[in-house]
Structure 1
Amino acid sequence: MRRRSVIFSGLGLTLVAALGALFWRPKDLGENHDNYFSALNNLLKEKGPGRPVMMIDVDRMNHNIDQISNSVGPEKTYRIVVKSLPSMDLLKHIMKRANTNALMVFHQPFLNAIVDAFPEADILMGKPMPITAVATFYNTLTRSAAAASQQIQWLIDTPERLIQYQQLANKLGVTMRINCELDVGLHRGGLSTAQSLDAVLNIIDGDPEHLNFSGFMGYEPHLTGLKAKLESPSVQSVLSIYQAFIDQAKARGVDTEKLTLNGAGSHTLGIYENDNLMNDLSAGSGIVKPMDFDTFYMKGNYPALFIATPILKRYDELKLPGDPAIAKLLPLWNPNMQRLYYIYGGYWKAKIVSPAGVADPIYQSTNQSPITTSNSVDLQIDDYIFLRPTQSEHVMLQFGDILVVKGGEIIDNWPVFHQTG
């Protein structure tokens, strides 16, 4: 009896395990392109370049520009973040539609290009630059150093960096506009207490010929995942720190009404719609909404940026290097591994959004990346796969000219910036 009990117990455990395996077995998630991606697929097969491309849907992007402009409002300045939108034609389009000439720049070669292309733009640097990068900017200018200096607000985070900038300004005979980075809670650097502003203002006040105080920049992406409202303690903490610096500047006799008081980013812009402390709000990636920007205040924005790449090979069975038995077993367990495609390129900071139901990659390749689907997906060689970048900066620089689509047609190609001057 005891042996029979053990046998039946073992069979019971095996049955439970089998039922559990069936319960946890992946479902068939495969779907062909919907109407939107089918139209793009047909367009690219007919008129595309036959290689991986970065593409922008202008109709969707225009909606996003309007969303952001309306969120900033007419009483504040909308400042476009260039690193997230690295194309001169793209910037021109956004500046015109949003009616702004305010830009934020993070990279020295981009800064030289921007100063040449937009001599009327007001440029705030998004991070403190090494003094050698600042010197390189001036040494490679194609226009007057004095005129270019009037466009730029250089960001400084310490009195020591400011002294470096002062020495260069003296050497060049220019007046540098100085904006102070504030640590409002991110703890990535910047002035941390209102009292620390005094050392900076002492240097600026002592050399008005070469230094001019232009404002503050307080970046707060640590609020991103909080669904924070204006009245939230975390937001009020940011604003109270910012206000303390403004009060300190006023106490030093600074006319704060004339300062650039910059903050926010795409993730947090919506927090400040009913706040008047900061008069200058930044956003970049929200214009095209890559995947990392599927966040609380970006819900009303549309994905407008896609990587499209052709299918090079199709197999109606899974093929794997090594043991062929595994290739037979995996599709039995996961129906989303029944069909194998190889795409042109791959391994980008991006995720496939169409067709639906693509299984996790069996391996990654920057040359021919394999993807697997169920038999419910029926795409052919030369059809396109569509991915959403997880971010726009850097990724947008990997494909050459941006393919511009509007009203279901390719209307232009927009060159991207070069990484170096």
Structure 2
Amino acid sequence: MAAVDLAAFDHNTADLVRRAAGYPIRIATKSVRCRELIARALGAPGFVGLMCYSLDEALWLHAEGLSDDLLVAYPTADRAALRRLAADPAAAAAITIMVDSAEHLDLVDAAVGPDRAPVRVCLELDASWRPVPGAHLGTRRSPLHTAAQAGRFAEQIARRSGFRLVGLMAYEGQIAGLGDAPAGRPLRGAALRWVQRRSAAELAERRAAAVARVREVAELEFVNGGGTGSLERTAAEGVVTEIAAGSGLVGPTLFDAYRAFRPRPALFFALPVVHRPARRIATVFGGGYIASGAVGPDRRPTPHWPEELSLLDTEGAGEVQTPVTGAAARDLAIGDRVWFRHAKAGELAERFEQYQLVDPASATSRQAPTYRGEGRSFG
């Protein structure tokens, strides 16, 4: 089973708003993937709109009435979804898709034809840091890195019928998604903080220039930036109009490694003990929920309760079984539960059809389906 501590979730919701310093927060839905939790956060003051990870997802959430302000954070090649978007005037007015090249515009035209109401598009600016030629620190996303490149592409969009440029986005993954205080690695932490300070300074100047250049071409409705790990830095720039966040709502283990903030763990999963192979080892059923990204120990699930349990390095978390070891393992019986935390926020929803939403104040719980539980998968 998987469970959400609603008190911790609500605390994290309020803390994200505090850290955003008055800037509206757009919820990154891929970090939640449960409609009831998305709606709960969206109902809190300070949250405005959704950042979806697929056009099909955005169309579904709009049809369900969750929001009329949806940004698709990744370019789409889903021709069927594009045809549905173009055929639905309400959806076309509410959903903005991401583009960074003329090829994206060509694909839309090929999918839905040129005779249509304008498709809302957002230009993505690459936010990586390139301190010297050939060096690239950050996610591999848009080919648009400079203000001049962004301006030229904005002009291409303006010359094309059937498109309306309404936004600009830049996601600084090397800051927002990379903890600056990794446990037990002080030298790496110091190096990360050095990189992040300089990357943030460079990006602030470049983003401001790009926004100014694109605004010469189009009246932007929004400029989106940031993420859970960089709310304060992004808000301090002043050029953004909104900030994206999602992982901070549930506090996965990858976000334990920041100095400036610490979300409360709000999402857990429990697995039953099925073997007792040794006095200090208990083996639970399943558990191989490895997070995406560069493979390493930080992508493994972490035993949370009973306390002071750990995985075996020789076996790790497996598809059908996961041994845990430690003094507390001696007291675990067959059928007992071991609780874990996942490394990334939304990916756990792909493993469970529902979450138990636990309200500590009333000592009650109820079930809420995940995307998977509603028969939806947008991978």
Please report the TM-score for the alignment, with normalisation by the length of structure 1. Answer: 0.73
Q: Provide the rounded CA distance (Å) in 2 between the counterparts of 1:113 and 1:420.
A: 11
Q: Does 1:114 align with 2:65?
A: no
Q: Contact 1:82–1:284 (CA<8 Å) still a contact in 2?
A: yes
1:267 and 1:297 in contact (8 A); partners too: no
Give 1:220's aligned residue. Answer: 172
Letter in 2 for 1:205: A
Aligned amino acid, residue 266 of structure 2:
A
Structure 2, unmatched stretches of 5+, are 129-137, 181-191, 291-300
Equivalent pair of 2:280/2:329 in contact (CA under 8 Å): no
**1:189-247 C-alpha deviation (Å, 9 max, x unpaired):** 32122222344233332245x211112111111123334799x4321101111111122
Is the CA contact 1:103–1:124 (under 8 Å) kept in the aligned structure 2?
A: yes
Q: Distance in 2 between matches of 1:68 and 1:90?
A: 15
Does 1:419 find its partner at 2:366? no
Structure 1 stretches lacking a partner, 5+ long: 1-52, 319-337
- Percent identity, aligned pairs only, is 21
Alignment match, 1:355: 306
1:394 and 2:351 equivalent?
no
Q: Distance in 2 between matches of 1:115 and 1:83?
A: 15
SS at match of 1:296: coil
What's the CA shift for 1:106? Answer: 0.9
Q: Partner residue of 1:145? A: 88
Question: What secondary structure, in the 3-state scheme, does the structure 1 residue paired with 2:51 have?
Answer: strand
Note the C-alpha offset of 1:377.
Answer: 4.3
- C-alpha distance in 1, partners of 2:63/2:205? 38
More helix by share: 1
Change (3 A) 1:228 1:56: farther
Matching residue of 2:21: 73
Equivalent positions of 1:201-240 (< 5 A) are 201-208=154-161, 210-223=162-175, 224=178, 225=180, 226-227=192-193, 232-240=197-205
Identify if the C-alpha distance between structure 1 residues 407 and 239 changes in structure 2 by more than 3 Å, giving closer, same or farther: same
Counterparts of residues 112-191 of structure 1 (less than 5 Å): 112-118=59-65, 120-130=67-77, 133=78, 135-139=79-83, 145-168=88-111, 170-171=113-114, 173-185=116-128, 186=138, 188-190=140-142, 191=144
Q: Which whole-Å CA distance do the structure 2 matches of 1:359 and 1:394 have between them?
A: 21
Higher relative contact order (CA 8 A, sep 6+): 1
For residues 347 and 266 of structure 2, the distance between their equivalents in structure 1, rounded to whole angstroms, comes to 16
Aligned to 1:332: none
The number of aligned residues is 338
1:285-317 deviation digits (Å, cap 9, x = unpaired): 1100100111326634201111112223446xx
Structure 2 distance, partners of 1:137, 1:242, is 31
8 Å Cα contact 1:169-1:175 kept in structure 2: no
* Equivalent residue number for residue 146 of structure 2: 193
SS at match of 1:394: helix
Q: 1: distance between equivalents of 2:328 and 2:49? A: 50
Inter-partner Cα distance in structure 1 for 2:270 and 2:42: 26
The CA RMSD over aligned residues, in Å, is: 2.6
Aligned to 2:285: 344
Q: What amino acid maps onto 1:407 in structure 2? A: P
Cα deviation digits, residues 355-386 of structure 1 (max 9, x gap): 23335425354223333333774233332211
**CA distance in structure 1 between the partners assigned to 2:378 and 2:329 by the alignment:** 45
Question: Which one has a bigger Cα radius of gyration?
Answer: 1
Partner deviation per Cα, 1:376-397 (whole Å, 9 max, x = no partner): 7423333221111011222222
Deviation at 1:140, TM superposition (A): 5.0
1:248-273 deviation per Cα after TM superposition (whole angstroms, max 9, x unaligned): 12444x33xx4311011111113234
Match of 1:403 in 2: 356
Whole-angstrom CA distance in 2 between matches of 1:89 and 1:187:
30
Which 4+ stretches in 1 moved above 6 angstroms? none
> Residue type matched to 1:153 in 2?
T
